[in-house]
């Protein structure tokens, strides 16, 4: 797996600096035409359509502009769902960060060619369907599941995790942890070993070296990782369906339900709210990413 | 030394966390009892049943054909686009890369819903084609972002050298450029294939009632209880990819061993 | 210069897996010395420096600094600072923050730090660069900042790991003078690693030639150049004719079948030896006046001199001369006795192997 940048504007190394390129032929540009057409047709246009749906009433007689669909978010049930989604996704993101950073550090320092290991962590589980893997957590967590069987055997009190917010957090951390490990790992291995040696040489102990050199230099990767975990956690409806029972409703579930019953305008309106939160979170994060470089995903 | 052991222990714990569910699923595929929650003894029954189950085999076929086609088409469009994007000046390049990132950064649910609404607005019947188009759409960014770094690493002169020696641009592309960026193209294809295979959300919204992929088939069964044949199928797929990766790694490791490092 | 042993390396060995990088290395560095570790890549020079800096632990042996054993001491507790090959500046900090890094860790006062930054930037001729970011500097400027960042900590010893390696030729030559000036102004010890023999000869008080983990020769630049102790040193430092010969008796050596007068004694009688003759030490004379006769087989104009190959006694002699002799002409070869450097044949197979590599 090779690394690449996800919000990159700054990775135009050597050959591209003058705008020219390795294939510095002006006609080459036109090769992007099929791609541009595709992206306008299937990325930009659909977003415009969903915004249109979200801002109109859907009334056959007077399909007029309205903020009613957006205002639905203020409905107590919906608002509760959004708040819970924000809470759980923030907690999951924080846990992912705390678990992933040490792992990425260990992997980046180990001498083995860890790219293979990284592939193993991220790609391999994906070949076991993501729904199935989440369902398997039911087996592990449920009342008569694996964890409780073990606890029973040890004569310890059993845990009631399944169908609680805790189970959803666990599902989120499980599913999205690799997306936190990868970008952090990718910035850490790019830090010049001599830069770390230089800090030691100038008198910094290992803690000072970490706080003053390694951590600041790895911020782009951390930012990328946070985005890659926070957005899917905030918007999931599958994990809450499988591990939360029917009682716990996240904003993703609300939107999915609206669409399931054909309530497209309301669902679109709430989707706009969701996109607003995604944009806000990215705007906040990009402030901390001074270089504007972003980390790399793979 | 203590630190080393702690580190190994930590990595082991994370791996356990990531692979415990997979292990559970593999065990379930050999479980005689039809219920998920009790162990009824070892059996290979579900592996035999699997190939007789028309619905599952159909879903598998749809899943694989969509993964293959979407990865292939995305690889072609994406590779060509990556080459074109690298040749652009800064402002248009930044805009295009920004658009490329949208499907990666946006929520799956929004991507899926917006595509669904578009298809409906265009009176396009949801089915195989709409799923395929959607998968190509979210796969192209993976290809572009895998190929771009390889293009950046290209020596600017190789292509010019090929032209200088009399090659036509197309000949030069296939003989000089493509072999150099091929590892990136391959990575992009493999990544796209995997993403397509693992996708549920976008497929869920764009598939319509007629077809099912493995993901959507599993989702309809979440409430009723998963058919054990599905555990058997995913175990087989998992083992197949595991073997494939082990073989690739072995070959790469052999190559690396021949280069010794000094100073 | 005093004879104080500031740093003493005793029996240092280091290997990575099967690859022995240093084998029982012994070396001392005197106070205020400019000492250069010189050798081809893989010779162990960088490893030696990293062991002194504390970035590698030797498998065996001791590092003594001012009489104290510092072998196990981490780099942040050593009174030395390093200038790294690729500068290793902290890209997320300004130039001033880079230079202040070590001082802040030592909790120096703000005023002290600001004075030091000003002083250091002046010293490396980069006044006013405080608020720039490292990325905005050229390679040569980054290198000076790396030096400034190291010296504000007032180390007893500055370790420099191929610091000029990434610079172009002109800049490299300018920086050589700069480094010598700095060394004199600061009055501290420099340990310098390079594979560039010209750099080593220009700047050093002492040159240590290394190969395959062994020290080949230690001496002043003049000694190393004029009196190489073995074929490796002779071949690595400058151009030379290395000729298998037989020492007939004291002050008489048979080179390729012809006897030459020399000044060396003590090699014994009829002993096989290697003879080194620098190309500029060969005088081309009339055929009848030479010790041996030869024919010019090639001629290149090199600016300050002509480079010629003269075939004599079945060997192509490399000759640098300001006199032009056209190809095909017969000439006589004359070498003054004191320009003939006699060396013992290499003893180990290792050294022999090295000779073939170069």
Query: What's the rounded Cα separation, in Å, for the pair A125 and A128?
Result: 5
Q: What is residue A115's predicted lDDT score, i.e. its pLDDT?
A: 62
Least confident segment among A48-62, A113-127, B187-201:
A113-127
- Residue C175: count other Cβ atoms within 10 Å of its Cβ: 20
Domains of chain C: 5-226 (3.40.50.300), 242-347 (2.40.50.140)
From chain A, pick out residues whose CB is under 8 angstroms from the CB of B86.
16, 21-23
Q: Does B89 contact A19 at a Cβ distance shorter than 8 Å?
A: yes
Q: Which of the residues C88, C99, C158 would you substitute to probe the A interface, choosing the one with the greatest number of A C-beta atoms within 10 Å?
A: C88
* SS3 assignment, position B248: helix
- With an 8 Å Cβ cutoff, are B159 and A22 in contact? yes
Q: What local confidence, expressed as pLDDT, does residue B133 receive?
A: 97
Which of A197, A198, A217 comes nearest C92 by C-beta?
A: A217
Q: What average pLDDT does the segment A224-238 reach?
A: 93
User: What value does the mean pLDDT take over residues B22-50?
Assistant: 87
Could you tell me if B260 lies within 8 Å of chain C, comparing CB atoms?
Answer: yes
Q: Would the CA dihedral through C132, C133, C137, C140 be positive or negative? A: positive
Comparing C-alpha atoms, which of A182, A192, A180 is closest to residue A217? A192
Mean pLDDT of A187-194: 90
Residue-level pLDDT at B244 = 84
Q: Is A120 on the interface with C (CB under 8 A)?
A: no
Region of poorest pLDDT, from A15-19, A41-45, C345-349: A15-19
Q: Is A199 on the interface with C (CB under 8 A)?
A: yes
B123 touches chain C (CB under 8 A): no
pLDDT of residue A204: 93
Asked if the C-beta of B256 comes within 8 angstroms of chain C's C-beta atoms, the answer is no
Residues 6+ apart with CB under 8 A from C114: none
pLDDT at A62 over 90: no
**pLDDT value at position A160?**
86
C80 contacts in chain A (CB < 8 Å) = 201
Percent of chain A at pLDDT > 90 equals 53
A53 contacts B87? CB cut-off 8 A: no
- pLDDT at position B105 is 86
Between C119 and B38, the more confident residue is: C119
Residue C86 touches chain A, beta carbons under 8 Å: yes
Mutate to test the interface with C, among A203, A208, A289 (most CBs of C within 10 A): A203
In this prediction, residue A25 has a pLDDT band, given cuts at 50, 70 and 90, of: low
Question: What's residue B26's pLDDT?
Answer: 93
Separation CA C34–CA C206 (nearest Å): 6
Instruction: Specify whether the CB–CB gap between B176 and A22 falls below 8 A.
Output: no
pLDDT single digits (tens) B131-164 = 999 999 999 999 998 898 888 888 778 888 888 8
SS3 C165: coil
With 80 as the cut, is the pLDDT of residue A202 above it? yes
Whether residue B253 is predicted with pLDDT greater than 80 in this model: the reply is no
**CB–CB contact A15 B214 (8 Å):** no
Q: How far is residue B213's CA from residue C151's CA, in Å, rounded to a whole number?
A: 66
Quote the pLDDT of residue A134: 93
CATH superfamily, domain at A76-297: MetI-like (1.10.3720.10)
Per-residue b or e along A259-279, where b marks 16 or more CB atoms closer than 10 Å to that residue's CB: beeebbbbbbbbbbbbbebbe
Mean pLDDT of all residues in chain A? 83
pTM above 0.80, yes or no: yes
Neighbours of chain A (3+ CB pairs under 8 A): B, C
Supply the CATH classification number for the domain B52-235: 1.10.3720.10
Burial of residue C120 (CB within 10 Å: 0-12, 13-18, 19+) is buried
Q: Rounded to a whole number, what is the distance in Å from the CA of C40 to chain B's nearest CA? A: 10
**Which residues 20-49 on chain B approach chain A with CB closer than 8 angstroms?**
20-22, 24-25, 28, 36-37
pLDDT of residue A109: 83
Mean per-residue pLDDT, A9-22: 38
Predicted confidence band at A120 (pLDDT cuts at 50, 70, 90)? Answer: low
- pLDDT value, residue A4: 37
Query: E strands of C204-353, at which residues?
Result: 206-211, 214-219, 241-249, 252-255, 258-261, 271-277, 282-285, 292-301, 306-312, 315-321, 330-335, 341-344
Binary contact (B262, C41; C-beta < 8 A): yes
The pLDDT assigned to C168 comes to 83
pLDDT digits (tens, 9 = 90+) for B47-84: 999 999 999 999 999 999 999 999 999 999 999 999 88
Query: What mean pLDDT is predicted for residues A203-231?
Result: 93
As for the ipTM of the complex, it is 0.87
pLDDT given for residue B156 in this prediction: 73
Asked whether residue A271 carries a pLDDT value surpassing 60, the answer given is yes
pLDDT of residue A21: 43
In this prediction, residues A74-88 reach a mean pLDDT of 95
Tens of pLDDT, residues A94-104: 999 999 999 99
Split at pLDDT 50, 70, 90, the class of A1 is very low
pLDDT recorded at residue C217: 93
Give the nearest chain A residue to B149 (CA atoms): A4
Distance CA C346, CA B130 (A): 78
pLDDT tens series, chain C, 358 aa: 445 789 999 999 999 888 889 999 999 999 999 999 999 988 999 999 999 999 999 999 999 999 999 999 999 999 999 999 888 999 999 999 999 999 999 999 999 999 999 999 998 889 999 999 999 999 889 999 999 999 999 999 999 999 988 788 888 888 898 899 989 988 999 999 999 998 999 999 999 999 998 999 999 999 999 888 888 998 898 888 999 899 999 999 999 889 999 998 888 888 899 899 999 999 999 999 999 999 999 999 988 899 999 999 889 999 999 988 999 999 999 999 999 999 887 654 444 444 433 3
Is pLDDT at A274 greater than 50 in this prediction? yes
Residues in chain C with CB shorter than 8 Å from the CB of A198 are: 82, 84, 88-90, 149
The confidence score (pLDDT) of residue C42 equals 85
Q: Please report which confidence band the pLDDT of residue B214 belongs to, taking 50, 70 and 90 as the band edges.
A: very high
Please state, rounded to an integer, the average pLDDT across all residues of chain B.
88
Q: Is the pLDDT of residue A22 over 70?
A: no
Poorest-pLDDT segment among A234-238, B16-20, B156-160, C44-48 = B156-160
Query: Could you tell me which chains touch chain C, where touching means 3 or more CB pairs under 8 A?
Result: A, B
Q: Does A290 or C21 have the greater pLDDT score?
A: C21
DSSP chain A: ----BSS-SS---GGGTTS--TT--GGGGGGGHHHHHHHIIIIIHHHHHHHHHHTB---SS---B-SHHHHGGGSHHHHHHHHHHHHHHHHHHHHHHHHHHHHHHHHHHSSS-THHHHHHHHHHHHTS-HHHHHHHHHHHHSTTSHHHHHHHHTTPPP---TTSHHHHHHHHHHHHHHHHHHHHHHHHHHS-HHHHHHHHHTT--HHHHIIIIIHHHHHHHHHHHHHHHHHHHHH-SHHHHHHSTTT---HHHHHHHHHHTT-HHHHHHHHHHHHHHHHHHHHHHHHH-TTS---B--
Average pLDDT over residues A6-21: 38
Question: Quick one: pLDDT at residue A297?
Answer: 44
Cβ atoms of C79 and C155 within 8 Å: the answer is yes
């Amino acid at each position: 797996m090779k690394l690449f940048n996800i919000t990159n504007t700054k990775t135009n190394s050597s050959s591209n600096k003058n705008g020219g390129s390795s294939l510095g032929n002006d006609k080459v540009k036109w090769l992007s035409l099929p791609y541009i057409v595709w992206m306008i047709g299937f990325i930009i246009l659909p977003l415009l359509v969903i915004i249109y749906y979200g801002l109109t009433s859907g009334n056959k007689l007077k399909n007029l502009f309205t903020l009613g669909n957006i205002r639905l978010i203020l409905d107590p049930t919906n608002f509760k769902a959004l708040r819970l989604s924000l809470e759980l996704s923030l907690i999951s993101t924080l846990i992912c960060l705390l678990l992933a950073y040490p792992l990425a550090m260990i992997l980046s320092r180990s001498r083995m060619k860890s790219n293979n290991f990284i592939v193993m962590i991220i790609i391999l589980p994906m070949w076991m369907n993501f729904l199935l893997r989440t369902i398997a957590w039911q087996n592990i967590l449920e009342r008569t599941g694996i964890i409780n069987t073990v606890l029973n055997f040890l004569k310890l009190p059993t845990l009631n995790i399944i169908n609680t917010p805790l189970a959803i957090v666990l599902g989120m951390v499980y599913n999205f942890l690799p997306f936190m490990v990868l970008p952090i790992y990718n910035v850490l291995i790019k830090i010049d070993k001599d830069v770390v040696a230089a800090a030691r040489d100038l008198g910094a102990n290992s803690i000072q070296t970490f706080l003053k050199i390694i951590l600041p230099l790895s911020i782009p990767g951390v930012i990328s990782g946070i985005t890659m975990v926070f957005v899917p956690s905030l918007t999931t409806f599958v994990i809450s369906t499988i591990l939360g029972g029917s009682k716990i409703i996240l904003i993703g579930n609300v939107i999915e339900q609206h669409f399931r019953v054909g309530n497209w305008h309301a669902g679109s309106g709430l989707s706009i709210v969701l996109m607003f939160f995604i944009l806000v979170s990215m705007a906040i994060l990009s402030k901390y990413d001074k270089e504007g470089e972003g980390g790399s995903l793979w | 030394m203590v630190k080393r052991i702690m580190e190994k222990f930590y990595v082991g714990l994370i791996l356990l966390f990531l692979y415990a569910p997979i292990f559970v699923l593999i065990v379930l595929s050999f479980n005689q009892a039809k219920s998920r929650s009790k162990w009824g003894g070892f059996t290979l029954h579900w592996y035999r049943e699997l190939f007789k189950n028309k619905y599952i085999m159909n879903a598998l076929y749809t899943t694989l054909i969509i993964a293959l086609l979407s990865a292939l088409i995305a690889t072609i469009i994406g590779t060509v686009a990556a080459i074109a994007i690298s040749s652009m000046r800064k402002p248009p390049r930044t805009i295009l890369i920004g658009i490329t990132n949208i499907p990666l950064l946006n929520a799956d649910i929004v991507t899926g819903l917006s595509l669904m609404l578009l298809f409906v607005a265009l009176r396009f019947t949801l089915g195989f084609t709409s799923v395929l188009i959607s998968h190509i759409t979210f796969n192209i960014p993976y290809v572009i972002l895998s190929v771009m770094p390889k293009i950046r690493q290209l020596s600017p002169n190789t292509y010019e050298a090929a032209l200088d020696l009399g090659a036509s641009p197309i000949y030069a592309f296939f003989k000089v450029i493509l072999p150099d960026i091929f590892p990136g193209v391959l990575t992009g294809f493999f990544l796209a294939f995997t993403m397509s295979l693992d996708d549920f959300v976008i497929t869920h919204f764009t598939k319509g009632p007629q077809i099912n992929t493995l993901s959507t088939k599993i989702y309809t069964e979440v409430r009723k209880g998963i058919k054990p044949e599905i555990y058997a199928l995913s175990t087989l797929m998992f083992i197949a990819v595991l073997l494939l990766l082990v073989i690739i790694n072995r070959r790469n490791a052999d190559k690396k061993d021949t280069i010794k490092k000094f100073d | 210069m005093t004879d104080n042993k500031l740093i003493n390396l005793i029996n240092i060995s280091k290997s990575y897996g099967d690859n022995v990088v240093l084998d029982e290395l012994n070396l001392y560095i005197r106070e205020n010395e400019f000492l250069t570790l010189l050798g081809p890549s893989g010779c162990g020079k960088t490893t030696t420096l990293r062991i002194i800096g504390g970035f590698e632990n030797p498998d065996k042996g001791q590092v003594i600094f001012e009489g104290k054993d510092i072998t196990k001491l981490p780099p942040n507790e050593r009174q030395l600072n390093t200038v790294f090959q690729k500068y290793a500046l902290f890209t997320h900090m300004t130039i001033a923050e880079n230079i202040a890094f070590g001082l802040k860790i030592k909790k120096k006062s703000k005023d002290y730090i600001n004075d030091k930054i000003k002083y250091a930037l002046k010293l490396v001729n980069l006044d006013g660069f405080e608020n720039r970011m490292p990325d905005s500097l050229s390679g040569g400027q980054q290198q000076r900042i790396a030096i400034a960042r190291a010296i504000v900590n007032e180390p007893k010893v500055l370790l420099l790991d191929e610091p000029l390696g990434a610079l172009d030729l002109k800049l490299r030559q300018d920086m050589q003078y700069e480094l010598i000036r700095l060394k004199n102004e600061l009055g501290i010890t420099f340990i310098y690693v390079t594979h560039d023999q010209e750099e080593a000869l220009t700047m050093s008080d002492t040159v240590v030639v290394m190969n395959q983990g062994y020290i080949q020769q230690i001496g002043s630049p003049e000694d190393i150049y004029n009196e190489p102790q073995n074929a490796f040193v002779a071949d690595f430092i400058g151009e030379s004719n290395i000729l298998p010969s037989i020492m007939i008796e004291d002050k008489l050596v048979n080179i390729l079948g012809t006897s030459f007068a020399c000044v060396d004694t003590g090699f014994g009688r009829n002993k096989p030896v290697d003879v080194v003759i620098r190309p500029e030490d060969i005088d081309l004379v009339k055929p009848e006046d030479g010790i041996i006769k030869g024919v010019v087989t090639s001629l290149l104009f090199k600016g300050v001199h002509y480079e010629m190959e003269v075939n004599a006694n079945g060997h192509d002699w490399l000759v640098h001369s300001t006199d032009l002799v056209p190809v095909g002409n017969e000439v006589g070869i004359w070498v003054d006795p004191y320009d003939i450097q006699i060396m013992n044949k290499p003893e180990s197979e290792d050294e022999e192997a090295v000779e073939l590599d170069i």
